[in-house]
A and B are shown apart, each in its own frame.
Chain A
Amino acid sequence: MAANPMTQFEVYRIGPEIKVGAFDISFTNASLFMVISSLAILIIFNLGSKKNSILPSKIQLLAELSYSFVSKMISDTAGSKAKPYFSFIFSLFMFVLFCNMFGMIPYTFTVTSHIIVTFILAAFIFIGVTVVGFIKHGFGYLKLFVPSGVPIVLLPLIVVIEIISYLSRPISLSVRLFANMMAGHTMMKVFGGFVVSLGIVGGWLPLSFSVALTGLEILVAFLQAYVFAILTCIYLNDALNLHH
């Protein structure tokens, strides 16, 4: 086992190298866990929606509770207008949640601990939300940058701040998830290394810490997926219901 806590984030090829033009799209361990997460989601929710009994089975209850959880989250933050985007936000939440959770299993790879993955997701959300905003409100969507009730003197400054904050959304969204996952996994690895190096005498303290961290990381894995989804809802809310 490598002692470097960062080696767990290394991507390596599984199988042959696949090249399309100049691009290398080989199947890697990251791809493997993306496929596993997606398949797990599809299998669980397929089983959960297959039979409809008045008293739901456990897996059906799981699927239906997740459905109503995400549905409530969307309607609470973005209102009823966000209903057409339910499938997307549901898939997003489940994908991030399952990738995070699969990363908690030892010797697995955490897809969401890579900035490129989270950034692509965040950028897609950012572009999508902006497009939706412009389609719904035309150029009136730019009023988002001009809050009402602000003194004229402060307006230029506020508009600049608003634009910067709007443009930094994809970065903050992606870095939040990526940094949380990476930091948690690195910490666990470091404490795991301490257990080995301190041996039978001193290893108990980092071991207990590691156990506690595992619980915390599972919480973080869920929480970050939730935050990712709910921030998407909030951005969508800005685009759908222009409040300013």
Chain B
Amino acid sequence: MFKKLFLYSLIANFFFTKKIFAAESGGMPQLDPEFWISQIFWLVLTFGVLYIVLSKLILPKISANLELRKSQIQENIEAAEKQRESSEAKLEEFDGIILKSKIEAKNIFKDVREKIIKNINSKKEILDKQINDEIKKAEVEIDTLRQSAPEKINKIAVVTSAEILKKLIGAEINNSSISAIVDDLVKKNGEKYYGH
């Protein structure tokens, strides 16, 4: 069956190819001038309209669109650049502020420390002076006390001696004679009694 089909198709082949090549004698329709004028007319018309509409309406729009996009992108890049710069400047400013405030804080700390030290020193001095004064005063007091002590002691010795004598022997002895004796004793043994 396949063989038969193949044979038929081969025969048909011959017929058709013969027809194809036979019909080619018609020549090229392109060289037939019948519609040349019409083709020129319509070519000029359509191409002219196409050119005018494209050049006057559409191409300027596309060009403007492209320009606009380009400039917009450029603008965006520039804006981003500007913002980056400003942020960098701000960062620098921020760093400067931090540095300055650090120095300031250090200065304040130093000042306060100095002030406190000065304060402490002055207070110490005042206190020292007061203490010295007190000491001096006390010393003076002690001195006067010490200086006045032998006299008082002498007096006491005189009075008590008189009292003692009166109680022991019942006789009143003149104070002046007793004090003379005490003076004499003090003169003799003063060193032993008062340590000077």
List the interface of chain A (C-beta within 8 A of B): 2-7, 9-11, 23-28, 30-31, 34-35, 37-38, 41-42, 45-46, 48-50, 52, 54, 56, 60, 63-64, 67-68, 86-88, 90-91, 94-95, 111, 113-117, 120-121, 178, 182, 190, 193-194, 196-202
Contact = CB atoms under 8 A, between A and B. Distances in A.
Given A38-B46, A201-B6, A117 B53 contact: no
A6 B27 contact: yes
Nearest to A193: B20
A10 B35 CA distance: 10
B19 A3 contact: yes
B63 A67 contact: yes
13 contacts: A11-B29, A11-B35, A54-B72, A56-B69, A91-B55, A95-B46, A95-B47, A115-B31, A116-B30, A116-B36, A121-B43, A190-B20, A197-B15
A60 B68 CA distance: 14
Contacts of A35: 42, 46
B169 interface: no
B174 interface: no
Given A115-B31, A200-B9, 8 more contacts: A6-B28, A23-B41, A28-B35, A67-B59, A91-B54, A193-B16, A199-B12, A201-B9
A91 B58 CA distance: 11
Given A6-B26, A114-B39, A34 B46 contact: yes
A9 B46 contact: no
B39 A31 contact: yes
**What are the 3 closest A-B residue pairs judged by CB atoms, nearest first?**
A197-B16, A87-B55, A31-B42
B116 to A, nearest CB: 66
Contact of A198 (B13, B31, B44): B13
A113 B30 CA distance: 8
A190 B29 CA distance: 16
A82 to B, nearest CB: 14
B60 to A, nearest CB: 9
Contact of B29 (A9, A87, A198): A9
Given A25-B38, A90-B59, A197 B20 contact: yes
Contacts of B59: 45, 67, 86-87, 90
Nearest to B12: A199
Nearest to B7: A201
Nearest to A63: B62
Given A5-B20, A178-B30, A117 B43 contact: yes
B132 interface: no
